[in-house]
Amino acid sequence: MFITILLFLAVCLVFLYDYKRKRSDRWKKLSEFPGDTPLPFFGNGLQLGFDADESSHKLLTLWEKHGKQTFRFSVGSEDWVLLTDPDDIGTILNHQTELAKPLERNVAMRPFFGNSVSTSEGERWASIRKLMSTSFHFNTLEGKIEVVNKHCDPLFEIFDSYQGKRTVDLYRYLRPYMYDILCASLMGIESNKLLNPDDPYLEASGKVIRIVTYNFFSYWRNIDFLFSLTPQYTEMMETIKTIKQTSSEIIETRREILNKIIKKTQSNNKNVDIDLEKIIENKLNNVGCLLDKLLLSKSADGKPTSDDVINEELSLLCFTGHYTTTMTISHTLYCLAKYPKIQDRVFEEQQSIFNKNLQKKPTNNELNQMKYLEAVIKESIRVIPTVTKIGRQLKNDLTLKDGRVVPAGTSVIIFYEAAFKNPKVFPEPEKYIPERFLNPMHAYAFVPFSAGRRNCIGFRFAWVAMKATLSNILRRYEVFPGEPGTEPQFVGRIITESKNGLRVKLKKRIL
């Protein structure tokens, strides 16, 4: 009897809270946006179901239901406003103070990447971002392109063994290839993961997107005690251990190399009037090694930055840096396999740039000439968004261009999957038309690397890596769809990927 009374009182409190909530000034502001009426306690969460891989698809269906425009959605007591209009997207990305990431997203990410630059705010975020920025400056790009070109050779040895015979899973080889490039250009070490695509790090990092997505959308996982009793929790902790252990090994390897560089510099510059620290700083800046900057950095109290802090930044950078570029390159090749006439046009552009020397490795100047290839990459991202959503957690009310107000405390989500299908911005969005990106468009219609103060710090590196890799591949091979039954099964996780890999056929060109 007592338990029945308690349950009755609990239900009454839930309905009372819901009654007050829907008569609040906050709800009045939210009601200006289209959306389904949320249920007490659950909000609209039950509409997402219990399969996180289907969540983005269901949100896309709701966007279509509500007129293909910015809309609202509630999960429990948390409110989201999903932006799909370029004016709305520009408003939040240009904001100078609303820089915090959504609570749900940070909760899902922090077990893996701690308080890294992706999730942190304030001084920690500002200082680390400033420290990293010089490693991604345009004057370091030429050296990074040389690293990409160098790593293409072992990749081609593998691809040559597949050409004309069987399909190749692009994910399997492009992921270690991109990881090796990232380590060589930003960490100052040779990782050689391409020689062992079954490396434990690659296996673990392959699980991260799935686990993070389920942490984000499977709300019961926020109940720590309950989640800690499940096999999913055990899998997550083992994955985290592998990721962090790999980062620790990279730190120790580069620290040994860095110490040798410092000792050699000290030995060669014994003049007491020389500013040795300045010489070492200039030497390392010219190399553009991001890890060196982290290893030599100091915290606010003047002490060296702790290895735990460096590990968090390194784990994030190694993962996101290799995974997002791999997906974009792979998905672009998949689209070119589906649309051979567009692939032919890409090859024609390559011929016009390199003339008869199609085996030449590209320079930054030549990459800048590849306007059509760049348009193809952008259209591939539009059709298969690499990153599905980004967002901000509002600390204050946000007024949009049309006068509507998103109340403080709301998660503002830039819903790329819907924004890139907006027919008002992208006519005939179901068609693959790279030429659309050769014409002017709204500045915030297509911002896959975000924009404003919290944009992707490595976007220049990503662009040169993607363009150089695709240029080298497409001048060496024709790309064809995989065999029947190998069609990719794309799922809109935090990063879009195919659950069954991505297989294509390669045919070596006669040059």
- pLDDT tens for each residue of 90-126: 999 999 999 999 988 898 999 999 999 999 998 889 9
Helix count (H) and strand count (E) of the chain?
19, 11
Q: Is the model's pLDDT at 283 over the cut of 70?
A: no
Identify the band that residue 275 occupies on the pLDDT scale cut at 50, 70 and 90. low
Average pLDDT over residues 254-277: 74
Q: Give me the pLDDT at residue 225, please.
A: 82
Residues 55/217, Cβ–Cβ less than 8 Å = yes
Percentages (nearest 5) of helix, strand, coil residues in the chain = 60, 10, 30
Q: What is the pLDDT of residue 287?
A: 56
Distance CA 374, CA 290 (A): 26
Q: What confidence score (pLDDT) does residue 8 get? A: 64
- pLDDT of res. 234: 95
User: How much is the pLDDT for 100?
Assistant: 94
- The rounded percent of the chain whose pLDDT value lies above 70 is 93
> What pLDDT sits at residue 47?
92
Task: State the fold for domain 33-508.
Answer: Cytochrome p450 (1.10.630)
Taking residues 267-280, report their average pLDDT.
62
Q: Give the pLDDT of residue 22.
A: 78
Q: What is the mean pLDDT of residues 56-85?
A: 95
Q: Which helix (H) or strand (E) holds 413?
A: strand 411-415
Q: Are 411 and 393 in contact (CB under 8 A)?
A: yes
In whole angstroms, give the CA distance from residue 373 to residue 350. 9
Annotated binding site for heme: 456
Is residue 14 very low, low, confident or very high in pLDDT (cuts 50, 70, 90)? low
Q: In this predicted model, what pLDDT tens digit does every residue of 473-484 receive, in sequence order?
A: 999 999 999 999
Q: How far apart are CA 507 and CA 511, in angstroms?
A: 12
Calpha distance 334→215 (Å, rounded)? 29
Q: How many C-beta atoms lie closer than 10 Å to residue 24's C-beta?
A: 11
Mean pLDDT value across residues 190-218: 94
Q: Is 306 helix (H, G, I), strand (E, B) or coil?
A: coil
Q: For 372-384, what is the mean pLDDT?
A: 98
pLDDT for res 404: 98
Strands 168-169 and 78-83: unpaired
Main-chain phi, psi angles of 341, to 5 degrees: -65, -35
- Residue written as token pair 């008569």: 23
**pLDDT surpassing 60 at residue 273:** no
Q: Which of 269, 251, 270 is nearest to 259 (CA)?
A: 251
Residues 287-316 have a mean pLDDT of 88
Identify the pLDDT of residue 300.
75
Q: In the chain, where are the structural domains located?
A: 33-508
Q: What are the tens digits of pLDDT across the range 210-231?
A: 999 998 887 767 777 888 889 9
d(CA 331, CA 343): 13
> What integer pLDDT is reported at residue 138 of this predicted model?
77
Q: What is the pLDDT of residue 20?
A: 78
Q: What is the pLDDT of residue 356?
A: 81
Residue 161 CA to residue 483 CA, distance in Å, equals: 17
Average pLDDT of the chain is: 91
Q: Is the pLDDT of residue 255 over 80?
A: yes
Dump pLDDT digits (tens) for 179-188: 999 999 999 9
pLDDT at res. 172: 98
| Share above pLDDT 90 across residues of the chain, in percent, rounded to a whole number | 74
15: pLDDT confidence band, cut at 50, 70 and 90?
Answer: low
Using the structure block, give the residue that is written with the tokens 């990153």.
387
Instruction: Specify whether the CB–CB gap between 336 and 346 falls below 8 A.
Output: yes
- 175 vs 262, residue with greater confidence: 175
- pLDDT reported for residue 435: 98
* Numbered residues of the known binding site: 456
Reference 35, options 387, 448, 386, 413; nearest CA is 413
Residue pLDDT, tens place only, 412-446: 999 999 999 999 999 999 999 999 999 999 999 99
- Mean per-residue pLDDT for 342-363? 95
Whether the predicted pLDDT of 394 surpasses 70 = yes
Residue 229 has what DSSP assignment?
Answer: T
Q: What does the pLDDT average to over 185-205?
A: 96
Structural element, H or E, at residue 497? strand 496-498
